[in-house]
Structures are given as C-alpha cells and as structure tokens.
Structure 1
Amino acid sequence: MIVVSSSLIPFLEMNGNANKAIDLYVKALDAKVTYMLRYGDLPENPEAPLPPEQKDWVNYAVLKIGDSELQISDHVTGSTYEKGTQITIVVQTNDKEKATRYFEALKQGGRVNQPLQASFFSPAYGNVTDKFGITFRILTKGRQ
C-alpha cells in the first residue's frame, strides 16, 4: 500500500530583503539553507540587463527548518508588494524552551501581537511579526 503525503511549503516574496530574512531565520529558527540561486547566477539577458545592486538578490532559496521547508525569493509575482501580507507561518515545536527562543529572536526589531503564554491548546503560544513584516504563530504541541 502506498501512503500519499502532502505538506504545506510557505513561500515568502521579500522584495529585496531575502538575504537579511535568510540570515535571521538561520539564527532564529535553526534553518539550514539547502538551495540558493541568486539573480547574478542566471544568464544575462541583454534586452533586460540586471542592475548591479540586484545581482545579489535571491531568485530562489530553500531553507530546511526541522522537518519543514521554507522557500524564499526577492521576486514579487503580484502587481504590488505590501510588506507583511505575503504569508503567515506557524512554527510548531514540542519543546517549550525552543518555542521561547524562537519567539524572543523573532520579536527583535519586530512587534509582539500576542505574548508567548500558555493557552488551552498549547503550553506556549504567541504571535509575533518580525522586522520584515512576516507574522509567525509560535505553537508548542502537547501539555508541558
């Protein structure tokens, strides 16, 4: 019998801030960069030359966080970019101390929307928007 599995993979469109976001997530969430392609790595298009300051922008990156994957790009697929509206991410762990560390790191330069605290569904739950406008819901599974 074949078991079919599906997963959600959040994709962040960072509009020029992908490198800084990746640095934060590596530090705050123990993320590992498993793939990175920068715009400067792509073949040059003579009809649409890339400005020098955008050659270091991220065309596509994959980060591994625990058993999950996060994809990031500086490309904006929509017609307008509105910081913070591109996605909300749930970071789930079974370790309350790790949840606290994640929350504390992500709130630096950001905004706490709901403090990290026990709730009826989690020993530690909080909501924080990081300095790039990405909202994270930190959730600890189980009763601790």
Structure 2
Amino acid sequence: MSLKMNPYLIFDGRAREAIQFYEKALGGQVLGIMTFGDMPGDPNHPLTEDMKKRVMHGQLKVGEADLMFSDTFEGMPYQPGNTIQIAIHPKEETEAREIFAALGDDGGQVIMPLQKTDWSPLYGQVKDKFGVTFQVNVLAE
C-alpha cells in the first residue's frame, strides 16, 4: 500500500496569515489558496463579506511535505488544541536554528530550547503565534 498523509491546520479567520507566516518561516511555496467566496453562491445561504474572504482550502509545499489550511465556517466552534504537534527534521543545525527562531517570532513561545539530547545533536520545541507546536529535530548521524 502506498499512503501519503499531511497535516491540515484549521484557523478561525487567520488561515491566510498562517500560510504567509509558514511560507516565510519554513521556506515553503504556496501552491494555492481558495476562499469560500471563490465557490458558487447559494441564494438560500448567502455568505457575509467576511466569510467570502475566509480560506476554504490552502496548500503550502515545504520540502517534500504538504501543509494544508482552512478557516472555520463563521459561527462554528473553534478551539486550538495541543494534541497534535508537527515534527520537522532539518539536516543541518544552522537550518534548525533558523526555523526554530522564525517559528518563535512574533508571539511564539519556546517550550524546550534547542539543545543536544540523547537522540539528536539539536532538538527543541516551540509553539508559534497560532498555538501550533513544532518539534525541531536534527537527525543524529
């Protein structure tokens, strides 16, 4: 069986901002952004101007991985969680330090500073300004 999986991040009206942030922080490439307003309208359920601007689906290519994004539908409950983390495995320590710093910028929080561990020459955890936690882990040789 061949199977590919990727993280799909949900935001409450901040998906476009998140895509731009991760594009810069992770050196990604935006493959596409579709808003709810890009879809054909339904006269029985008209969208507000804010809803039309929200991201229905966004895709960012980061290395070989795809990150996908969406905003919640207006009025739907939104609760950021800490049950899923994204692990990033740069090959070089310099790259790991740059990614870690970029994710921690603008309101991020270092959970575990970058440091040598038993399994890695450089490992740390950082929660970004959107509440998403990343593990940055340089693979041991």
Letter in 2 for 1:126: G
Deviation at 1:65, TM superposition (A): 0.3
* Count of residues paired in the alignment: 138
Deviation at 1:86, TM superposition (A): 6.8
In the alignment, the residues of structure 1 paired with residue 139 and residue 48 of structure 2 have an alpha-carbon distance, to the nearest angstrom, of 46
In the alignment, the residues of structure 1 paired with residue 38 and residue 17 of structure 2 have an alpha-carbon distance, to the nearest angstrom, of 19
* Secondary structure class of the residue paired with 1:63: strand
Identify unmatched segments of 5+ residues in structure 1.
Answer: none
In the alignment, the residues of structure 2 paired with residue 36 and residue 20 of structure 1 have an alpha-carbon distance, to the nearest angstrom, of 12
Deviations 1:68-121 (A, max 9, x none): 111110036xx6321244732111111111111010011111111100111111
In the alignment, the residues of structure 1 paired with residue 139 and residue 65 of structure 2 have an alpha-carbon distance, to the nearest angstrom, of 16
In the alignment, the residues of structure 1 paired with residue 84 and residue 15 of structure 2 have an alpha-carbon distance, to the nearest angstrom, of 14
Q: How does 1:1-144 map to 2 (within 5 A)?
A: 4-75=1-72, 80-85=77-82, 87-108=84-105, 109-143=107-141
Kindly, what percent of the aligned residue pairs are identical? 37
* Secondary structure class of the residue paired with 1:26: helix
TM-score between the two structures when normalised by the length of structure 1: 0.88
In the alignment, the residues of structure 2 paired with residue 82 and residue 116 of structure 1 have an alpha-carbon distance, to the nearest angstrom, of 28
* Secondary structure class of the residue paired with 1:83: coil
Contact 1:13 1:75 in 2 (8 A): yes
In the alignment, the residues of structure 2 paired with residue 8 and residue 88 of structure 1 have an alpha-carbon distance, to the nearest angstrom, of 14
Deviation at 1:15, TM superposition (A): 1.5
* Secondary structure class of the residue paired with 1:93: coil
Letter in 1 for 2:61: K
* 1:5–1:142 CA distance, 2 compared to 1 (3 A): farther
* Secondary structure class of the residue paired with 1:100: helix
